[in-house]
Structure 1
Amino acid sequence: MLKIGCHLSSSKGYRAMGKMAVEINANTFQFFTRNPRGAKAKAINSEDVKGFLEQKEETGIGVIVAHAPYTLNACAADEGLRNFARETMEDDLARMEYTPGNFYNFHPGSHVKQGAETGIMYIAEMLNKILKPNQTTTVLLETMSGKGSEVGRSFEELREILDRVELSDKMGVCLDTCHVWDGGYDIVNHLDEVLTEFDQVIGLKRLKAIHLNDSQNPLGAHKDRHARIGEGHIGAEALVRVVNHPALRSLPFELETPNQLPGYAKEIAFFRENYEK
């Protein structure tokens, strides 16, 4: 069965997100743990969580993906910003245990002229401080497009982070189709080769989720502008091949296209119609 959903607003709680997911025929979803441009997080409502876990069982919603706020930079040059990222992510991971067994995705960050090696060192140091042996949440590094001084622009950079994390069984990767395309990985004409390279560098067993997006930019643009499915340079046909690829088809796919719920519903229906049973 195709596991597909989209990014939903968490402002009204878990049960509201579950209801929205069911309404658009999604069986997974992604959400921000807190204000994506700030730091505030709503208090966990235990009744809401309990209701959602029951709803999840009743409706068949599978694994869900939490997304860290964009304000976090684990490899900032400023120590205060690095500490803010660490404290926020540590709090997020504690909150994730209310809904055990899910994924927490974050952008590795920007090294801000310190160099990728320094950025990688800082990211791994943070992860080694916040990961716990008994946590049920898997933390995902997201593939990045390579704009500015982003860390994670290549499979090799992500592997370097993973190699330095002590609790490596708590880690995985989320592949963003727009980001890897913008980063220079040709998933339109050479999807098999890109996935073979991923397997050789990182290992496909580390790949836990897919952000399913078209791109407003051509291959290797090193930008980050998502497009609706079929309205960008990747195209609907290539993204259908992504969801049907034997190495990917069992993973959760999260749409982050510039849409409201009706647009997401349309894209989910499109992929369900084109999913090979």
Structure 2
Amino acid sequence: MSVQIGAHTSIAGGAYNAVDEQVEIGGTCGQIFSHSPQVWQDPDIGDDEAAQFRERSADNGVGPWVIHSSYLVNLCTPKDDLRRKSIDSMQKEVDAAAKLGVEYVNVHLGAHTGAGVEQGLDNAASALDELDVPDDVTVLVESDAGSGTKLGGDFEHLAAVLERSDQALGVCVDTAHAFAAGYDLSTPEGVDETVAEFDDVVGLEHLHCLHLNDSKHGCGTNKDEHAHVGEGKIGEAGMRRIVNHPDLRELPFVLETPTEDGKSFAWNVERVRELRE
């Protein structure tokens, strides 16, 4: 099976433009925001726009797609107003996903901001349980770099939310986040150990997607800054093992790599294909 690799592309000018950009960079799967992720805003996707997105994705063999939720969403919060806004925002995201034919909505758990880890995890699970998720959409909780009171840095956090929620949730592991949280992915042995630990704690059957990013900072630093594939602290050996690991290689890999040093998504897509064995 050829590698499923793509990137986070823009819906500016119409959601279907994200498909065209994906094709231009050589991507076969991808991720989008349904609106600006830095403000509370409802997705505004018309019926014709959604139909064109679905048609162009099908015609070009691009999929699966992921909608990344707003950065403002905090499922772990103890604050009632922020919790309500987060739930409302997530409901609109899963509804937009159904309209676009997008399989996944990805969300960070957020920060407990002093409520404590266990209460934060309970808050996240109960918030997710308030969603009416369409049949063809799956919510993925994403691994985090683990700074401050943010949850999701430990695989145990992800497992707890999956166990406590009544929703049929999945997981998206971000390689840069996991590395920053202390899971050493810089060697083939480290990748194998991390995958085995994830399987033991969460279960590989729950892993639906990988955000494939290298890291500008070292393992366990809790610093979230992405690097080009093979050119960060994870490095070529770790990235090569990730994209070829038998339990990972058939998953969709979504890039959130920077555009710098003359290298863009297209460069990283090609780099992944070069590392594929």
Check whether TM > 0.5: yes
Paired position in structure 2 for 1:201? 201
After TM superposition, give the deviation of residue 240 of structure 1 in Å: 1.9
Q: Helix, strand or coil for the counterpart of 2:150? A: coil
The aligned counterpart of 1:29 is 30
The answer (yes or no) to whether the contact 1:131–1:167 under 8 Å persists in 2 is no
- Separation in structure 2 between the aligned mates of residue 131 and residue 180 of structure 1, nearest angstrom: 29
Q: Deviations over 1:64-122 (max 9, x none)?
A: 01100111111223210111001110111111111235110011000001111111011
Structure-1 residue corresponding to 2:214: 214
Q: Which aligned pairs between 1:80-99 and structure 2 lie closer than 5 A?
A: 80-99=81-100
Aligned residue in 2 for 1:156: 156
The 3-state SS of whatever aligns with 1:105 is strand
1:246 aligns with 246
Q: In the alignment, what sits opposite 2:125?
A: 124
Give the unaligned 5+ runs of structure 2: none
TM-score normalised by structure 1 residue count? 0.94
State TM-score, norm by structure 2. Answer: 0.94
- Whether the aligned pair in 1 keeps the contact of 2:34 and 2:67 (CA below 8 Å) is yes
Is contact 2:229–2:236 with CA below 8 Å preserved after alignment? yes
* More displaced 10-residue stretch of structure 1: 223-232 or 259-268: 259-268
The alpha carbon displacement at 1:239 in A equals 0.9
Give the superposition deviation at 1:230.
2.9
1:112-171 Cα distance to aligned partner (Å, 9 max, x none): 011111110110111111044x52111000011110101111111111111011133xx1
Q: Which runs of 5 or more structure 1 residues have no equivalent in the other structure?
A: none
Going from structure 1 to structure 2, the CA distance change for 1:49 and 1:57 (only over 3 Å counts) comes to same
Aligned-residue CA RMSD (Å): 1.5
How many angstroms apart in 1 are the aligned matches of 2:209 and 2:127? 22
Q: Which one-letter code corresponds to 1:188 in the other structure?
A: S
Matches of 1:183 and 1:76, distance apart in 2: 21
Q: Deviations over 1:241-273 (max 9, x none)?
A: 111111011111111111279611011111112
The one of 155, 172, 183 aligned to 1:185:
183
SS for the counterpart of 1:140 is strand
| Superposed counterparts of 1:1-277, under 5 Å | 1-100=2-101, 102-132=103-133, 134-168=134-168, 171-189=169-187, 190-259=190-259, 263-276=264-277
Q: Distance in 1 between matches of 2:173 and 2:115?
A: 25
Deviation at 1:50, TM superposition (A): 1.2
The 2-side partners of 1:45 and 1:237 are apart by: 44
Query: 1:97 is paired with a residue of what secondary structure?
Result: helix
Find the residue that maps to 1:232 and give its secondary structure: coil
Give the SS at the match of 2:110. Answer: coil
Deviation at 1:208, TM superposition (A): 0.4
Give the counterpart letter for 2:160 in structure 1.
Answer: E
Aligned to 2:16, what secondary structure does the other structure show?
A: helix
Task: List structure 1 runs of 4+ shifted beyond 4 angstroms.
Answer: none
Question: What letter matches 2:237 in structure 1?
Answer: E
The whole-number CA distance in structure 1 between the counterparts of 2:73 and 2:55 is: 32
User: Closer, same or farther in 2 for the Cα pair 1:233/1:262, shift >3 Å?
Assistant: closer
Shift of 1:48: 1.6
Report the alpha carbon displacement of residue 62 of structure 1 after superposing the two structures with TM. 1.5
Contact 1:35 1:41 in 2 (8 A): no
